[in-house]
Amino acid sequence: MFEGFKLDAAEVTGGSIRFRQGGNGPPLLLLHGHPRTHATWHKVAGHLRARYTLICPDLPGFGGSFKPADRPDHANSSKRAKSFALVELMQALGHDSFSVAGHDRGSYVAFRMAMDHPGRVRKLAILDGVPILEALERCREEFARRWWHWFFYAQPEKPERAIGADPLAWYGGSAEAMGEENFADFARAISDPGTIHTMLEDYRAGLTVDVAHDREDLAEGRKLQCPLLVLWSERDDLPDLYGDVVAVWKRWADDVRGASIPSGHHMAEEASEALAHAFEAYFDTPES
Looking at residue 253, what DSSP letter applies?
A: B
Q: Which residues make Cβ contacts (< 8 Å) with residue 262, sequence separation at least 6?
A: 234, 235, 271, 274
In degrees rounded to 5, what are phi and psi of residue 251? -75, -15
Report how far residue 99's alpha carbon sits from residue 59's, in angstroms, rounded to the nearest whole number: 16
Catalytic residues: 104, 265
Report how far residue 197's alpha carbon sits from residue 200's, in angstroms, rounded to the nearest whole number: 5
Element (H, E) at 47: helix 42-48
End-to-end CA distance of the chain: 35
What is the greatest pairwise CA distance in the chain?
51
Instruction: Return the number of other C-beta atoms located less than 10 Å from residue 96's C-beta.
Output: 10
CA 134 to chain centre: 17
Contact 64, 8 (CB under 8 A): no
